[in-house]
Amino acid sequence: MRTPDLLRLPLVGRFFRWRYSRFVLQVPLLLVALLALYDGFMGRQLAPKNFATVSVWLHYRGFLVLAIAVLGNLFCAACPMMLVRGPTRFAKRFLPEFKWPRALRNKYFVIALTLFYLFAYEYWDLWASPWLTAWLILGYFGVAFVVDALFPEGTFCKYVCPLGNFNFTLSTVSPTQIAARDPEVCLRCEGKYCVNGRVETPSGRKTLKEAPNAEGLRFPGCETKLYVPQIQSNMDCTLCMNCVRACPYDNVAWKLRAPGTEAAWARYKIDVVWLGVLLFFAGFMNAFAMVPPYYQLAERLSELLGTRNEALLLSTIFVLWTGLGLFLTLGVAMLADRVSGVRASPLKAVRFWGTGFFPLAFAMWAGHYAFHFLTGWASIIPVTQQALLNLGLPVGEPDWTLAALVPENWLYPLQVGILYLGLLAASYVLFRRARERNHFLAGGIVFTYFFLLVALALWVLAQPMEMRGTLLLPQ
């Protein structure tokens, strides 16, 4: 049976082959970012009533996981930060271009940045400060501009952007993926245009590598250097659709696939697997920092260390928890390897068994973000009205009672459902791995570990949780 290809749908294929399609997707998010900047800097500094905090911390994150679950990494496709590309192309005429250091061409740098970002989120209560949220947006645009101006295109998305790498990791469970329609056509393809780019000159077709300055219709290739016939994973794919436009043989598909199964087949590098493992434990920590047991633990630690320095206490808990998670994962993966009679290195063991963390990481964040999104879903209406009123636009008086609609009864059951689905997908990954080794006991050991982690996560999510960024009106 032929795999369904979304680009064959009427209008969808035409839209994505159109050279301005990404720009059209980026404009709405650019407008949202501009309004968030305006309201964050100039509006009332009350998080549940400010467009910057509500749009970024409640809605953006909620829609992001929803889009990933339903279709794919749409938020990278529509990322307004890549609109710095126009100005950076101009700046590149006057600036030298550097190569991104070889030592940083992996996910470790972005892992470090992600940890710092999560620490900053808790320590500076970013969710509670419209002003800091606006600075974060501005800073993000600034860093994107600098990295894009000084390094090859795609460097920022692949090696620097914590948000993009978060999206890449979670989109490994998405139900769609870029692929070649006919691999035979790719074998005969002379220019590998999907990755090298294409320029149609009066003297014929060339790759952008061969003729970087040639006049003619230009179609950039994949900035993150994915070669379409070899793509096995959504990792590093921004869904920019450059490959679709660059391929002169119309041989790129946006195919449907079974959601949550990628990790069972793909072979990730070890840094990518660590990113998946870390995102699970970081997602857990992010939720844990909002419940009473966290504050009790911090109190105990404070007595033990004889300090009330919040940065020290927070970083100690962060390091202990993520360190413990990485250490336990290493131990369980090695045990599973030994039981199945394999004497590979510890890192190879993590590379083999740790891919099950990808669906778990998605479920952890989706469950957590669903809580934030649903506790303030309707608040986007009055905060948008308020921000537009501040701009002098006649949009009517905001109804703040909308901001306090919380569907409490089904929040937890929904989170339980999401985490069980994540565990189910992770079990499938482990089943495939165990079958490869022909040793189901080894798979069972890793499954028990995952099951305990999910049980612990459900316990955290069952605790009374801070409704950050939600307006709590008196009853």
Residues near ligand SF4 (CB under 6 A) are 178, 180, 185-186, 189, 192-194, 222, 224, 226, 228-229, 237-243, 247, 249, 251-252
- Which C-beta is closer to ligand SF4: that of 118 or that of 180? 180
Pairing of strands 198-201, 252-256: unpaired
- Which C-beta is closer to ligand SF4: that of 133 or that of 224? 224
Phi, psi of 303 (to 5 degrees): -65, -40
- Shortest-Cβ-distance residue relative to ligand SF4: 189
How far apart CA 420 and CA 439 sit, in angstroms, is 24
Residues 6 or more apart in contact with residue 253 via CB below 8 angstroms: 3, 5, 7, 8, 178, 179, 180, 181
- Which C-beta is closer to ligand SF4: that of 8 or that of 308? 8
Pairing of strands 204-207, 217-219: unpaired
* Helix or strand (DSSP H, E) at 294: helix 292-305
- Which C-beta is closer to ligand SF4: that of 64 or that of 180? 180
Cα separation values, 443 from 113, 340, 425, 432, Å: 32, 9, 14, 9
- Which C-beta is closer to ligand SF4: that of 225 or that of 308? 225
Least gap, CB of 458 to ligand SF4 (angstroms): 35
Least gap, CB of 231 to ligand SF4 (angstroms): 6
- Which C-beta is closer to ligand SF4: that of 79 or that of 285? 79
Least gap, CB of 199 to ligand SF4 (angstroms): 13
Least gap, CB of 17 to ligand SF4 (angstroms): 12
DSSP state of 217: E
How far apart CA 286 and CA 121 sit, in angstroms, is 9
Of 229, 228, 263, 236, whose CA–CA distance to 106 is shortest? 236
Provide the residue count of the chain: 475
Specify whether the CB–CB gap between 40 and 366 falls below 8 A: no
How far apart CA 379 and CA 173 sit, in angstroms, is 29
How far apart CA 208 and CA 348 sit, in angstroms, is 38
Least gap, CB of 73 to ligand SF4 (angstroms): 8
Least gap, CB of 273 to ligand SF4 (angstroms): 21
How far apart CA 418 and CA 37 sit, in angstroms, is 33
How far apart CA 247 and CA 186 sit, in angstroms, is 10
- Which C-beta is closer to ligand SF4: that of 229 or that of 376? 229
Residues 6 or more apart in contact with residue 1 via CB below 8 angstroms: none
Least gap, CB of 36 to ligand SF4 (angstroms): 26
Least gap, CB of 185 to ligand SF4 (angstroms): 5
- Which C-beta is closer to ligand SF4: that of 145 or that of 249? 249
Cα separation values, 422 from 170, 277, 288, 449, Å: 11, 14, 19, 14
Least gap, CB of 215 to ligand SF4 (angstroms): 21
- Which C-beta is closer to ligand SF4: that of 119 or that of 227? 227
Least gap, CB of 161 to ligand SF4 (angstroms): 13
Specify whether the CB–CB gap between 193 and 206 falls below 8 A: no
- Which C-beta is closer to ligand SF4: that of 186 or that of 364? 186
Least gap, CB of 2 to ligand SF4 (angstroms): 17
What is the arrangement of strands in the sheet containing 217-219, beginning at the earlier edge strand? 204-207, 198-201, 217-219
Specify whether the CB–CB gap between 211 and 199 falls below 8 A: yes
- Which C-beta is closer to ligand SF4: that of 39 or that of 223? 223
